[in-house]
Amino acid sequence: MTDTLKKADIAVILGNKVNDDGTLSERLEKRLECGLKLYRDNRIKKILVSGGLGSEGYYEGDKMKEYLISIKFLTL
């Protein structure tokens, strides 16, 4: 996997485990941090999150969206 530092229209971030208490697993949080960095660095225009309903009872995509929105507004 190589990063050529090129720009793209969109980044797709695949889901991963959401913890029983509704927080993101460390792996999922790191994926989102990488996507957010690409967005802040103007390398992508949009982020698309993808994830299903986990056994913990949470939709990964919904939790990912909530996380990105909360982080984006807290740090701008």
The 10s digit of each residue's pLDDT in 2-61 is 878 899 999 999 999 999 999 999 999 999 999 999 999 999 999 999 999 988 999 999
Q: How far apart are CA 54 and CA 74, in angstroms?
A: 27
With b for 16 or more beta-carbon neighbours within 10 A and e for fewer, the 30-59 pattern comes to ebbeebbebbeeeebeebebebeebeeebe
The SS3 call for residue 39 is helix
Paired tokens of 4: 């050529």
The 10s digit of each residue's pLDDT in 55-74 is 899 999 999 999 998 886 65
